[in-house]
Structure 1
Amino acid sequence: MSDKHILKNRSFLFIWMGNIISELGAAFGTFCNSILIFQLTGSTMALGSMWILYFVPSLILQLFIGPFIDRWSRKRIMVFSQLSRGLVFLIPLLSSLTGNLEAWHIFAVQIFIGLITPLYSPANQSIIPTIIPSSQLSAANAYLDGTIRLMTFLAPFAGGVVVESIGVKATMPLVCALFIISGFILLLIQESRVALPIRKSWLEQFTEGVSYFFKQPLIVWLGVFLAFVQFGVGVSMVINLPYITRELSGSYAEYGYFMSSFPLGYVLGALLVRRLSHRSRRALMLGALIIGGLTYILLGMNVSIHFAFVTESVAGVAMAIFSVHNITIFQQYVPNSMMGKISSVRLFIIRGAMLLGVMTGTILSDIWPIRLLYILIGSIICTVSILGLLHPYFKFMDYPNDEERTACER
């Protein structure tokens, strides 16, 4: 099945369109909230607190929601999530228009978004294998990831220009509209649902998901490696804005360009990943993570804002190579009837690592130099990835091949 044929699949087309618009809205919303908090407080501690208030409820709900994702309609979960996100962004919008905006308004939005994201993400991942043949998941994921990242490239770029020229208020109505439009597009998905033959309790389903996850070394260790990366992402979420505006004396527009650089690289990486032949999947994936770690170290030593853009783009290419293979392996490995439960366990680990990174960045950014934090992040990622690449234990990452594993699991 070629890319052209994938887009002829109407349900995939609607998911593709809905996710693109959703990512655009999320990128605009995150950009606006970060700037609003920084303008209101001028504190990296407050910026970090904004993300902690997002991740704590997200992490708690992520652990418990998995069994319900498999029980409920995944399409309805996604639609509900998008419409809810669109409505909650009315809080900072209306507060800004009336001149009553306070930091707690942004914190309230972050808490609510943190509660909604654990519903949307596993439902989105779980519905893809029901509409795309297993043999084409890699191409579909690369196509979906690449185009979504293109939107997240355009959003910070456009957001930086808009905020620099006319202010944050002009972008807030667009955030609300994008989420609502995405929800209505997702309503058009033709969902195929398979009734579960046995009605199990939540505890039985939860235990089943945790047990299955930890019996699969490949899934566990790919989650662990990704968790170290997400720890670094969590730290950088706190320090990116002061890094650009203070360390490199950049403007909000240049902060937008910097935030656009990673998704631009990701788009290029997603286009490249299907054309990369490899004899060792382990070498390809962990080699990409090593390159990603080195980009953090380079940012820590960098003094040029333009070099920062290039470095972040390279990080995007490396992360795309790892992520597309990672999610494809996950979707091929896990039976679809358990996808929601396993996704929730996996995302709990990943989001937990990101929360730890945000907390680390929040605490240390007022004590340590920001450049030192970038070097610390990169050193951790490089060390873990090199160990995975060199230690004989991790040879299982190359076996069995996709066809054999898919035949066995399904």
Structure 2
Amino acid sequence: MNVLRNKAFTRIWLGNAISELGGSFGTFCNSLLIFTLTSSAMALGSMWLLYFLPSLVLQLFIGPYIDRWSRKWIMVIALWSRGFLFALLFLLFITDMLQVWHIYAVQLAVGLITPLYVPANQAILPSIIRKEQLATANGYVDGTNRLMMFIAPVTAGVVIEYIGIQSTMLFVWTFLVVSGFLLLPIHENRVHHPVRSTWLQQFTEGLQYFFKQKIIVWLGVFLAFVQFGVGVTMVINLPYITNELNGNTAEYGFFMAGFPLGYVLGSILVGKIKKGTRRQIMLGALTTGGATFIILGFSTSYLLAVITEVMGGIAMAVFNVQNLTLCQKLVPKHLMGKVFSVRLLIIRGAMPLGVLLGSVGSTLWGIRPLYILIGGIICIAALLGMLLPNFAFLDQPKLEKESSIS
């Protein structure tokens, strides 16, 4: 059966696409507003720290409740809450009352909502999709999300350049509200928990299962290196284009669209790659992704920078889609929320460190050395994982406990 014939999946797929488009619009607007108001990479970094730090705290506690509550309603409420926040920001802007702290407050609130939405979104798929269809479903969802991330900065950059930022902010509210309504008819197959255990017992259960699975742990570690690099680029991408390459708002939009465009192409290609072991494919792609950061550090051409971002997106798609699919196959359905929250906590914990490095390092050393540094870190980590015999377990033909998943 074609996964697109599953109506519940189709609604989640479309809802994710629209909400990702709205969220990307919102991120673009907030980053541009902060940098325009302050002209400071440090202020831009502070905005992202306000997003990530409270997010990590909530991530620590929310996992057990995602397995207990309706994942559909967690997603719907999270989407509508984000829509309300951006509507408030829009009203402040059009009434000339917007201040920097308002943007910080919205980022803080969105950071508290994201740990609800992301693990619920990842955990709901195995409850409506057969195991053998997960890789295809993840490819559709992840690839489409990145397509929206490609469309958003291009569209937002052009709209802001020629029409104004208020129109873009209005789109954010509309998309988030519509995506929530799309999810309402979904019927999820929930796992009932007749015995209620304490939060600590449930969190410990997810933590113990996570660290018992060596594949999940190390894939999380490798992904944490990527998220560290992403944290740095959140701070330095805008000054890189506007200051280092002398670009305008529209050109920044096209640059930001390069990575998600590549990610879409990579999501299409990931199922067609048959040669090589799992370790060679995944960590080879990760090495390639790290190398693109190094190229950006030396590039003086805007066109080369955009092409490099596209190549980076292709490489990271190959790594990320397989990473997520392996985890979904390995984790039992009744532990999805707990284990994915632990996984996200570790992965997302690397991003504030990257944001901090980007904020401080861009002032001390400059933009280009930071690209070279993070690219080198990712390449070294991936090459060690690909070459050292200690990581041979990534090539094992059958995943541990996979047969117990139904």
CA deviation profile, 1:245-272 (whole Å, cap 9, x unmatched): 0000001101000110000000000000
Offset at residue 405 of structure 1 (A):
4.8
Q: Which moved more, 1:88-97 or 1:308-317?
A: 88-97
Runs of 4+ in 1 over 2 A off after TM superposition: none
State the SS of the aligned residue for 1:142.
helix
Supply the RMSD in Å over aligned alpha carbons. 1.0
* 1:135-154 equivalences in 2 (<5 Å): 135-154=132-151
Partners in 1 of 2:62 and 2:250 — Cα distance? 38
Alignment counterpart, residue 73 of structure 1, candidates 45, 51, 70 = 70
Alignment counterpart, residue 302 of structure 1, candidates 299, 303, 312 = 299
8 Å CA contact 2:224–2:350 kept in 1: the answer is: yes
Matched, 1:267 2:258: no
Equivalent residue number for residue 383 of structure 1? 380
Q: Which amino acid aligns with 1:189?
A: I
Equivalences, count: 406
Partners in 2 of 1:85 and 1:144 — Cα distance? 20
Equivalent residue number for residue 102 of structure 2? 105
* 1:330-349 equivalences in 2 (<5 Å): 330-349=327-346
Partners in 2 of 1:268 and 1:318 — Cα distance? 10
Structure 2: runs of 5 or more not aligned = none
Partners in 2 of 1:254 and 1:118 — Cα distance? 31
Matched, 1:43 2:40: yes
Q: Which amino acid aligns with 1:372?
A: P
Equivalent residue number for residue 22 of structure 1? 19
Equivalent residue number for residue 31 of structure 1? 28
Q: Which moved more, 1:85-94 or 1:307-316?
A: 85-94
Equivalent residue number for residue 190 of structure 1? 187
8 Å CA contact 2:333–2:405 kept in 1: the answer is: no
8 Å CA contact 1:75–1:123 kept in 2: the answer is: yes
Equivalent residue number for residue 84 of structure 2? 87
Partners in 2 of 1:239 and 1:91 — Cα distance? 28
Equivalent residue number for residue 126 of structure 1? 123
Matched, 1:176 2:186: no
Equivalent residue number for residue 398 of structure 1? 395
Offset at residue 279 of structure 1 (A):
3.6
Offset at residue 147 of structure 1 (A):
1.5
Offset at residue 90 of structure 1 (A):
1.9
Partners in 2 of 1:256 and 1:188 — Cα distance? 35
Partners in 2 of 1:216 and 1:406 — Cα distance? 11
Q: Which amino acid aligns with 2:402?
A: T
Q: Which amino acid aligns with 1:282?
A: R
State the SS of the aligned residue for 2:364.
coil
Partners in 2 of 1:325 and 1:227 — Cα distance? 15
CA deviation profile, 1:348-407 (whole Å, cap 9, x unmatched): 0111101110111111111111000000000000001010001101010011425x7521
Matched, 1:209 2:206: yes
Q: Which amino acid aligns with 1:275?
A: K
Partners in 2 of 1:190 and 1:90 — Cα distance? 29
Equivalent residue number for residue 292 of structure 1? 289
Offset at residue 409 of structure 1 (A):
4.3
8 Å CA contact 1:213–1:345 kept in 2: the answer is: yes
State the SS of the aligned residue for 2:272.
coil
8 Å CA contact 2:72–2:186 kept in 1: the answer is: yes
Equivalent residue number for residue 403 of structure 2? 407
Equivalent residue number for residue 242 of structure 1? 239
8 Å CA contact 1:65–1:119 kept in 2: the answer is: yes
CA deviation profile, 1:69-115 (whole Å, cap 9, x unmatched): 00000000000000000001123211111111110010000000000
**TM-score (norm. length: structure 2):** 0.99
8 Å CA contact 2:332–2:404 kept in 1: the answer is: no
Partners in 1 of 2:55 and 2:353 — Cα distance? 13
8 Å CA contact 1:91–1:105 kept in 2: the answer is: no
Partners in 1 of 2:46 and 2:145 — Cα distance? 27
Alignment counterpart, residue 223 of structure 1, candidates 213, 220, 225 = 220
Partners in 2 of 1:143 and 1:210 — Cα distance? 29
Offset at residue 9 of structure 1 (A):
0.3
Partners in 1 of 2:235 and 2:402 — Cα distance? 40
Q: Which amino acid aligns with 1:407?
A: S
Q: Which amino acid aligns with 1:224?
A: V
Q: Which amino acid aligns with 1:63?
A: L
Q: Which amino acid aligns with 2:34?
A: I
Identity of aligned residues (%): 60
8 Å CA contact 1:134–1:332 kept in 2: the answer is: yes
Offset at residue 67 of structure 1 (A):
0.3
Structure 1: runs of 5 or more not aligned = none
Offset at residue 311 of structure 1 (A):
0.1
**TM-score (norm. length: structure 1):** 0.98
CA deviation profile, 1:106-143 (whole Å, cap 9, x unmatched): 00000000000000000000000011110111111111
State the SS of the aligned residue for 1:171.
helix
Partners in 2 of 1:406 and 1:213 — Cα distance? 14
Partners in 2 of 1:90 and 1:22 — Cα distance? 14
